[in-house]
Amino acid sequence: MRTKANLQLINALRETARRLNNGADYNWCHMGRCNCGHLAQTITRMSPAEIHERALMKAGDWTNQTLEYCTATGYTIDHIIETMIEMGLTKDDIVHIERLSDQRVLQRIELDRRIGMDHKKREDVVLYMNTFASLLEDELIANTPDPSSLLETAVSKNKSDSSRKASERIVEKVPAI
């Protein structure tokens, strides 16, 4: 399953990176203040304490909990993960964000910078999230049709609809034999 690139997700990644860059409390060992915890804050608008409390109801870190994610369990952390998936992330994305490990993202970061990255360092998380957002922007642009082709399609559809309606009016006026 691939990430569903969309503006809402891109904005959530950028907003999370901005908050972290501006000094939001960061603690990789806290489920509400780590990499995924911060993104979950942005997406769900829950506090770090609320996220952490829900996460502690189930064993493991974000990686374990995401891999064991199931909507039928009733665990509230699964509802948070579900909200993140509904935003367009995949389970793999969530695991990669926690560890800064998606090769598609890392390949966009200069080699000398990438080699020294640490998933527990705020500045590396900021770089990763901004790079991931840029990757999704590029995918969104690449998959968005050219506006002129959309206009041509609409005009041609409108012409065929008009021709069909004109034909229907003529048929209505011709008496049955």
Which of 104, 57, 105, 100 is closest to 80 using CA atoms?
57
> How far from the centroid of its chain's Cα atoms is residue 84's Cα?
7
DSSP one-letter string for 104-157: HHHTTS-HHHHHT--TT-HHHHHHHHHHHHHHHHHHHHHTSPPHHHHHHHHHHH
| 150 and 100 housed in the same domain | no
Same domain, 169 and 132: no
Distance (Å, whole) CA 48 – CA 172: 67
In terms of domains, do 158 and 122 share one? no
Judge whether 45 lies within some domain: yes
Is the domain of 116 the same as that of 169?
A: no
What is the chain's pLDDT, residue by residue, as a tens digit (177 residues)? 789 999 999 999 999 999 999 999 999 999 999 999 999 999 999 999 999 999 998 888 999 889 888 877 777 899 999 999 999 999 999 999 999 999 999 999 999 999 999 999 999 999 999 999 999 999 999 998 876 665 676 666 666 666 566 556 655 665 555
172 in the same domain as 136 = no
Q: Which of 66, 68, 3, 71 is nearest to 31 (CA)?
A: 66
Tokens of 46: 């829950």
The residue segments making up the domain with residue 116 are 7-142
157 within a domain of the structure (yes/no): yes
Q: For position 111, what pLDDT does the model report?
A: 96
Residues 124 and 170 in one domain: no
Please check whether residue 108 lies inside any domain of the structure.
yes
Residue 71 tokens, joined: 């909507």
Same-domain status, 151 and 136: no
pLDDT of residue 82: 95
Domain identity same for 131 and 154: no
Give the position of tokens 């990644």. Answer: 13
What pTM does this model have? 0.81
Q: 73 and 46 in one domain?
A: yes
- Domain assignment present for residue 80? The answer is yes
User: Per the domain annotation, does 1 fall within a domain?
Assistant: no
Give which of 67, 89, 77 is closest to 135, Cα–Cα.
Answer: 89
Any domain includes 14:
yes
Domain-located, residue 2 = no
How many domains in the chain? 2
Total Cβ atoms within 10 A of residue 134: 15
Tell me, yes or no, whether 149 and 128 share the same domain: no
Are 35 and 115 within one domain? yes
Residue corresponding to tokens 């503006």: 7
- Tell me, yes or no, whether 112 lies in a domain: yes
Give me the amino acid identity at 141.
I
For residues 24 and 40, membership in a common domain is answered with: yes
